[in-house]
Amino acid sequence: MDITVIGLGYVGLPTALLLASKGYEVLGVDINETHLKRIEDGTVYFDEPIWQKLLKENTLNHNFKTSDTLTKSDTYIIAVPTPVKDSKLDMTYIFNVLDEIADVLERGNVIILESTVKPGITKEIGEILYQKTQLIPGKDFYLAHVPERVIPGNSYYELINNSRLIGGINDISSQKVYDIYNSFVKGEMIKCESEYAEISKIVENSFRDLNIAFANEVLLISEKLGLDPWKVIENANRHPRVNILNPGIGVGGHCIPVDPWFLHQGYPEEAGLVLQARLRNDYMPIKVSKDIQSLLEKYKKKKVAILGCAYKPDSNDDRESPVYEIVKNLISVGVEVTLFDPNVKSHREFKIENTLESAVNDVDIIVIAVAHKEFLELSPSVLRSITPSIIILDCTNMINKDSYEANNFDMYLLGNLKVKGEKELYENATVSR
Ligand code: SAJ
């Protein structure tokens, strides 16, 4: 095998398939049996059809094979998760992979780390492998950190066209890795020291977290002023150099709510803003739960349908979705909740209804949590015909308020729970984290 990719998730599998399509013989390794079986059956679980096609083609021409065991290879690409536990980076998956690589590592091999890590880890990995094998990093084998930057949902385009940082532990490592990625990357490739690649990746995602946190803070402040936050942001964004992002129910996914903790863990004194942004964004699902509770109290009702489980619009990815935090909070205070998402069919803890109708046919309040196109295109008269509810809370600011009001719904907007001149509603909220 030319290249072994370890971890066949959102990053590993697409990378493996692109390399296979360029003629490399690629072995994809994963420890999750169900996941491997699905891939062996020709199924890719994320929603870009191109990956399904590439999987089929490369399996047929034998350029791509899968296994649960790592074997000898020229190049190893590590794309396993680096989760955060109790606000700390958990490197267990990487350490396990290193044990396996050490058993087969040979002179001249190349190791590429795609998983997000904190600064310094790539060189530490070199040292760990040296201790295990006596092979000298940068001389006997080559090592680099190449962080991925793709957005789930557009990964084919972005894997090929995004700019990539090639962070070698020395020049020759960077060059070896550059030559491999050069087979499929059309974006700019910058060779740099491994520390630059490591810090850049976590700074990028922290930047986005911070900006979303600011939008959420503007929402909270505007609301306190009794103003519509969405209008405040729209007005501020008329400035040519201001671009405030969208406030919302919180930040999900496996990257943006996770990576800032890597910065904070390494540099707690310096990363004060980063910490505050995390806390601000983590507060949003609590706030939304309080708002829903307030509406229920106001109308003396107790059943809620939440529309949308994915962590972002038009995606089937519900990793770290703030929606589940809201559901948990509501259930803990005795609210009855139904859930529906056109793209997410099941969850290990909560029941997800099969149809929109079964989610809304017996509820008092409907919450639009995620701006999936199916919800934006939903006709108010159709919704009216399948639900007794008259109350909608739109957390996306994407729903056409007027057309719903014309169909006799009471429309509320996240951050502006006033309807037809009403005053504040949430003095009595009791949900706590
Ligand atoms: N969100 C808001 N308001 C906004 C934009 C996003 O609340 O204005 C929320 C979304 O609803 C979602 C979360 O933020 O819950 C994250 O979504 P996202 O689309 O911003 O980002 P991800 O997590 O899908 O992908 C990010 C990307 N990083 C940046 O944009 C800096 C991607 O390029 C990275 O490759 C990816 O993280 C990763 O793997 O690190």
Amino acid at 208: R
Residues 6-41 pLDDT 10s: 999 999 999 999 999 999 999 999 999 999 999 999
Q: Which residue has the tokens 């699902």?
A: 285
Structure tokens at 110: 């190349």
Which ligand 1 atom lies nearest to the CA of residue 321? 15
For domain 224-413, is the CATH number 3.40.50.720?
A: yes
Regarding pTM above 0.85, the answer is yes
With a cut of 70, say whether residue 429 has pLDDT above it: no
Structure tokens at 359: 């989610």
Q: Is residue 8 within 8 Å of residue 39, measured between CB atoms?
A: yes
Domain boundaries defined on the chain: 2-192, 224-413
For the Cβ of 245 lying below 6 angstroms from any atom of ligand 1, the answer is yes
**Which among 123, 255, 287, 309 is annotated as catalytic?**
255
**pLDDT of 164:** 98
Cα torsion 244, 246, 248, 253 to 10°: value is -100
Say which CATH class 2-192 falls into: alpha beta
**pLDDT of 1:** 61
Cα separation values, 165 from 23, 194, 346, Å: 23, 9, 36
Cα separation values, 249 from 74, 229, 265, Å: 45, 14, 25
For the Cβ of 147 lying below 6 angstroms from any atom of ligand 1, the answer is no
For the Cβ of 100 lying below 6 angstroms from any atom of ligand 1, the answer is no
* Same fold flag, 2-192 and 224-413: yes
Complete DSSP assignment for 123-185: HHHHHHHHHHH-PPBTTTBEEEE----PPTTSHHHHHHHS-EEEEESSHHHHHHHHHHHTTT-
Q: Give the confidence band of 87 by pLDDT, cuts at 50, 70, 90.
A: confident
Which ligand 1 atom lies nearest to the CA of residue 207? 31
Determine the average pLDDT of the residues in 234-247: 98
Q: In Å, how far from its chain's centre is CA 151?
A: 8
Structure tokens at 378: 């939903």
Specify the residue with its C-alpha closest to ligand 1, atom 28.
205
β-sheet bridge partners, residue 303: 336
Complete DSSP assignment for 373-406: HHHHS--HHHHHHH----EEEESSS-S-HHHHHH
